[in-house]
């Protein structure tokens, strides 16, 4: 088993370290030098052009990857995008027809609710595209087309590298739609693909910065709860950070849209409560950056211990960060591919310090094939 972990203490540590490859391998083969290519045989550009609405359906971390995708796909394509928990979607009457694209995101390809959501969508003639990490699994078999994530086998029950690969594949879907619809020119698509291709390097740089995050994890391991705040694509990252902490450390953790702070979450803030804030780039998102800055000040003024994830060189946040995690600068919409990583490591280290098996958290299964 030690050999299988490639020198790492756990599969999760190994899988976190494999994230540069998970992103790079998922991109491979999807750009022919001119155009994004998804699943040409089964879902070509003519079909993508007729799509007038997108649903992303998924569970768990895969659902969070869909929330990230919504920001990118709406921005790039001007198509309405709804993101739904598969377990809700399948029991509703979602408004679908043959011009709806349903993107079913699943690492395993076997999650019962996501599979039923696919069947529910197909019965209403929607086009179903699977984003999946497991060759030949049930969800891609029952879908019209598939984009495989190439994260490799993921053993840790709490998703890490598969999540980054899902976000990557979802971006490819968004770019393919934008290209087919003409909402992006060919040179913009090429430039965006190039930006994605540079992400594995930023992921590597991020992985090198994490020792202080592990120390932080050890120092806050006896907290009762942790809050996570974010805006825009940082909001799903906050949700994912909270999910990781629940899954691994059995700690009460909640992710919130930072704009909701005054509508409830701020009542939870008390002396010493760790609050993790995912902050966007001050250069590319100045308005949202300033909003988050005031959110950080608000919670700090009420005694929270602020843990701020920001962009390197952003010196405006440092005075309000009890702990600052500086990430390499990447395009605003792609930030989740780096900002998620310190949250994975933080949760893992808190769980380890509390004495838990981070590969096999209690009560959880890698793949939920029964309801």
Q: Which residues are catalytic?
A: 366
Among 19, 26, 61, 300, the residue binding ligand G6P under the rule CB under 6 A is 61
For residue 159, state whether it binds ligand G6P (rule: CB under 6 A). yes
Instruction: Give dist(CA 33, CA 30) in Å, integer.
Output: 9
Residues recorded for the chain: 371
155 near ligand G6P, judged by CB under 6 A: no
Residues 6+ apart with CB under 8 A from 259: 231, 291
Which structure tokens are listed for 57? 């359906």
User: How many angstroms separate the CA atoms of 244 and 346, rounded?
Assistant: 9
Question: Residue 283's CB: how many other CB atoms inside 10 A?
Answer: 12
Task: Tokens for 359, please give them.
Answer: 């590969």
Using CB under 6 A as the binding rule, the residues of this chain from 332 to 371 that contact ligand G6P are 364, 366-368
Smallest separation, CB 340 to ligand G6P (Å): 13
293 phi, psi to nearest 5 deg:
-60, -45
Pick the piece of the chain touching ligand G6P (CB under 6 A) from 54-62, 194-202, 228-236, 342-350.
Answer: 54-62
> By CB under 6 A, how many residues form the interface with ligand G6P?
16
Cα-based distances in Å from 342 to 96, 277, 326: 38, 12, 10
Choose one: 32-40, 106-114, 298-306, 343-351; the region binding ligand G6P (CB under 6 A).
106-114
Say if residues 43 and 173 touch (Cβ distance below 8 Å): no
- Nearer of residues 111 and 295 to ligand G6P, judged by Cβ: 111
The smaller minimum CB distance to ligand G6P, of residues 159 and 295, is found at 159
Q: Does 157 bind ligand G6P (CB under 6 A)?
A: yes
φ, ψ for residue 139, nearest 5 deg: -65, -50
Stretch that binds ligand G6P, among 18-26, 88-96, 154-162, 274-282 (CB under 6 A): 154-162
Which position among 12, 22, 56, 62 is part of the footprint of ligand G6P (CB under 6 A)? 62
Q: Which of 19, 111, 206, 344 binds ligand G6P (CB under 6 A)?
A: 111
CB proximity list for 310: less than 8 A, separation 6 or greater? 279, 317, 321, 324, 325, 326, 327
SS3 label, residue 187: helix
Stretches 49-57, 151-159, 217-225, 311-319: which one binds ligand G6P (CB under 6 A)? 151-159
Residue 59 makes contact with ligand G6P by CB under 6 A: yes
Q: Give 295's contacts (C-beta < 8 A, 6+ positions apart).
A: 229, 258, 261, 277
Question: Which member of 77, 107, 168, 306 binds ligand G6P (CB under 6 A)?
Answer: 107
Q: Which of 337, 338, 356 is nearest to 347 (CA)?
A: 356
Rounded to a whole number of angstroms, the minimum distance from the CB of residue 363 to ligand G6P is: 10
Minimum CB–partner distance for residue 190 and ligand G6P (Å): 30
Q: What are the residues binding ligand G6P (CB under 6 A)?
A: 59-62, 106-108, 111, 114, 157-159, 364, 366-368
């Amino acid at each position: 088993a030690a050999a299988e972990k490639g020198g790492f203490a756990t599969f999760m540590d190994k899988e976190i370290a494999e994230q540069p490859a998970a992103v790079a391998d998922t991109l491979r083969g999807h750009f022919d030098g001119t155009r994004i290519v998804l699943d040409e045989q089964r879902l070509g550009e003519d079909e993508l052009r007729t799509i007038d609405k997108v649903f992303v359906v998924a569970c768990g971390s895969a659902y969070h990857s869909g929330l990230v995708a919504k920001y990118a796909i709406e921005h790039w394509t001007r198509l309405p995008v709804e993101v739904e928990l598969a377990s809700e979607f399948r029991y509703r009457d979602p408004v679908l027809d043959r011009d709806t694209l349903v993107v079913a995101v699943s690492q395993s390809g076997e999650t019962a609710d996501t599979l039923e959501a696919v069947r529910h969508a197909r019965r209403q003639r929607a086009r179903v595209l699977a984003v999946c990490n497991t060759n030949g699994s049930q969800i891609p078999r029952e879908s019209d087309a598939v984009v495989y994530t190439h994260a490799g086998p993921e053993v840790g029950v709490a998703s890490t590298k598969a999540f980054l690969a899902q976000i990557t594949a979802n971006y490819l879907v968004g770019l393919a739609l934008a290209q087919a619809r003409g909402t992006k020119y060919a040179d913009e698509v090429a430039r965006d693909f190039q930006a994605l291709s540079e992400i594995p390097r930023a992921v590597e740089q991020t992985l090198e910065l994490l020792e202080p995050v592990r120390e932080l994890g050890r120092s806050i391991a006896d907290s009762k709860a942790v809050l996570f705040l974010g805006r825009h694509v940082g909001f799903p990252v906050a949700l994912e950070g909270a999910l990781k902490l629940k899954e691994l450390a059995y700690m009460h953790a909640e992710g919130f849209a930072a704009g909701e702070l005054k509508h409830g979450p701020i009542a939870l803030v008390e002396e010493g409560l760790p609050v993790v804030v995912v902050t966007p780039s001050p250069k590319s998102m100045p308005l949202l950056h300033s909003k988050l800055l005031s959110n950080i000040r608000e919670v700090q003024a009420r005694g929270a211990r602020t843990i701020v994830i920001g962009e390197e060189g952003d010196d405006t946040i440092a005075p309000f960060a009890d702990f600052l995690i500086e990430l390499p600068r990447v395009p605003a919409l792609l930030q989740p591919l780096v900002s998620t990583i310190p949250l994975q490591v933080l949760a893992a280290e808190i769980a380890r310090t509390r004495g838990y098996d981070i590969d096999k958290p209690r009560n959880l299964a890698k793949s939920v094939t029964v309801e």
